[in-house]
Amino acid sequence: MLKEGLIPIPHSGLRRNYLGFWHIAAQSVANIAPSGTPALVVPLVYGITGNGAWMAYIFATVALLFVAACINQFARRTVSPGSLYTFVAQGIGPTWGVVSGWSMVIAYLIIGSSVLAGLANYVTVLAHAFFRANFDFVLVAAALVVAGLIAWFVAYRDVKLSTQFMLATELVSISVILILAFIFYAHHGTLLDPAQLSFSGMSANSLRQALVLAIFSFVGFESATALGHEAKNPTRFIPASVLFTVIATGAYFVFTTYTLVLAFHGHQPTLDQSNAPLSVLAQIIGMPVLGLLVAVGIAIGFFACALACITAGARVLFAMSRHGLFYEAAGTTHPTHSTPHVAVALASIAVLLLPLVMVLLKVPVLDVYGILGTLGTLGVLFSYILVSIAAPVYLRNRGERYGLAVLVAVVSVLAMLVPVIGSVYPAPPAPYNYLPYIFLALLAVGVARFLYLRSKRPEMISAIQADLVREIEELSA
């Protein structure tokens, strides 16, 4: 019940009880883009820690399980399209919730831009393979525009269509990569690699540095929480999806990393120098055609990730707009499709324009992928830290036991500080050394707007709190 004088926030208008477990899981899996990690991230991890690369992914999986445990303290008890925005607000207050919300919006939209660039890169790879194309600039720009428009339409039209598409595309891309790995082991004859099992050449310092990139591979696993109003049995399916995503993709990352390191022993160029390691793996087993199929799968996976980023980012914008923190129309839903169509359009425009402008400014497309991916990751890590802090406070405010939650939160925060500190010390080369400050500047814009609105409408905080309470009461009913 709202206090007298407060403006009530209307019901969301999103389609309730619409998405099953696999639709929800598809959102998180697609947001991670697991098919892209062996192709673009694993070589970098290997370059840092060598034969310990697979162990870096084991540590990253464990670290993200602690973060998932903190997120699930909320996901088991409440639902919202606002994802970590509303979770943090319920734990440590609307102000920090807004900070987390803007951080997630920045993260989802910029990561969506990054993977759209990754898709464009693989379109050129395929064009070179099939047509010997020599018009990369036009091809990249066209791929960005076409993929961006298709992603907008799918996200605008139907959230179930969106998640079904993401599920199908990720299954195809991951399956092709796993088939390639299994054929390699059939040819190789053994799973054992003494160099990796003994961590030959690995040091504690190199493992710590490699964790920065390994954790980057998981970014977006929590995005299923943005489907809270649209999920069936949300307090069961969403937490299960969050855990499933971390465990399943973690196992996949460990397996593919171990496989690539084993396959590249004695090979020139080395894994860290290869720009297409999965295609090389296909050549090693004498089936280069599988390399082309893998490239297709990776391109599809990047598209699914861009779609997932638009879907999740639009719902955070939608939730914040309903609270008066953004463009009012972005807090409305389509009368027929029950999707946040205005928020989807705004998110799609941002996801498309950022890489397109950078490409038009002659920034190489792989640099666009790396720069934007790193920038977006900072936003997610910041929100992971805030939700970890918020979890035990939330339980304490509810009068529940929170001692174990404090321990889990401490481990989670410390684990996330590793990549955060690694982004500023030792200082990476330009332009990556500027990215933390660019992220803080973007975040400051959103926070400044919130502070301005709060000064003009002091009742805003109470209205947001009342809406969060109402969502909990609706769920209990």
Domain boundaries, the chain: 21-471
d(CA 14, CA 355): 30
Q: Let me know the angle formed at the C-alpha of 458 by 455 and 464, rounded to the nearest 5 degrees.
A: 120
Distance of CA 90 to the CA centre of its chain: 22
- φ, ψ at 231 (rounded to 5°): -85, 150
User: Letter for the amino acid at 276?
Assistant: A
**Separation in Å, CA 279 to CA 6, 181, 299, 323, 375:** 60, 11, 14, 48, 28
The answer for residues whose C-beta is within 8 angstroms of residue 50's C-beta and 6 or more apart is 200, 201, 202, 206
* Beta bridge partners of residue 19, listed in sequence order: 231
DSSP three-state, residue 95: helix
Structure tokens at 469: 């309470």
User: Alpha-carbon torsion 88, 90, 91, 96, what sign?
Assistant: positive
- Going by C-alpha positions, the residue among 382, 309, 300 that lies closest to residue 351 is 309
33: left (phi over 0), alpha (psi -120 to 50) or beta: left
DSSP three-state, residue 145: helix
Fold of 21-471: Amino acid/polyamine transporter I (1.20.1740)
- Cis bond before residue 277 (omega within 30° of 0): no
**Separation in Å, CA 329 to CA 15, 325, 340, 344, 452:** 18, 11, 9, 11, 20
Tell me 5's DSSP state: T
d(CA 120, CA 94): 39
Structure tokens at 440: 């803080």
d(CA 113, CA 176): 25
Give the per-residue pLDDT at 39: 87
Structure tokens at 11: 């019901």
Give the per-residue pLDDT at 313: 94
User: Letter for the amino acid at 219?
Assistant: V
Which pTM was predicted? 0.89
d(CA 333, CA 129): 43
Sequential DSSP letters for 36-73: HIIIIIHHHHHHHHGGGHHHHHHHHHHHHHHHHHHHHH
- Going by C-alpha positions, the residue among 323, 282, 311 that lies closest to residue 182 is 282
Q: Do residues 229 and 81 make contact, with C-beta atoms less than 8 angstroms apart?
A: yes
- Going by C-alpha positions, the residue among 20, 348, 342 that lies closest to residue 160 is 20
DSSP three-state, residue 19: strand
* Beta bridge partners of residue 231, listed in sequence order: 19
Structure tokens at 405: 């939650």
User: Alpha-carbon torsion 167, 369, 244, 197, what sign?
Assistant: positive
> For residue 220, how many C-alpha atoms fall within 13 Å in the half-sphere facing its CB?
36
In the chain the first and final C-alpha atoms are separated, in Å, by: 14
- φ, ψ at 19 (rounded to 5°): -110, 130
- φ, ψ at 93 (rounded to 5°): 105, 155
Give the per-residue pLDDT at 477: 46
99, 101, 106, 107 alpha-carbon torsion, rounded to 10° = 110
Per-residue pLDDT of the chain (477 residues; tens, 9 = 90+): 333 333 344 455 677 788 889 889 888 998 898 988 998 889 889 988 999 999 999 999 999 999 999 999 999 998 877 789 989 999 998 889 999 999 999 999 999 999 999 999 889 888 888 877 677 899 999 999 999 999 999 999 887 777 787 778 788 889 889 999 999 999 998 899 999 999 888 887 788 878 888 888 998 899 999 888 888 899 999 999 999 999 999 999 999 999 999 999 989 889 988 878 998 999 999 998 888 888 888 888 899 899 989 999 999 999 899 888 888 899 999 999 889 999 999 999 999 999 999 999 999 998 998 899 889 989 999 999 999 999 999 999 999 999 999 999 999 999 999 888 888 887 888 998 999 999 999 999 999 988 888 888 887 777 777 776 665 555 544
d(CA 463, CA 322): 11
State the residue for tokens 């928020």. 343
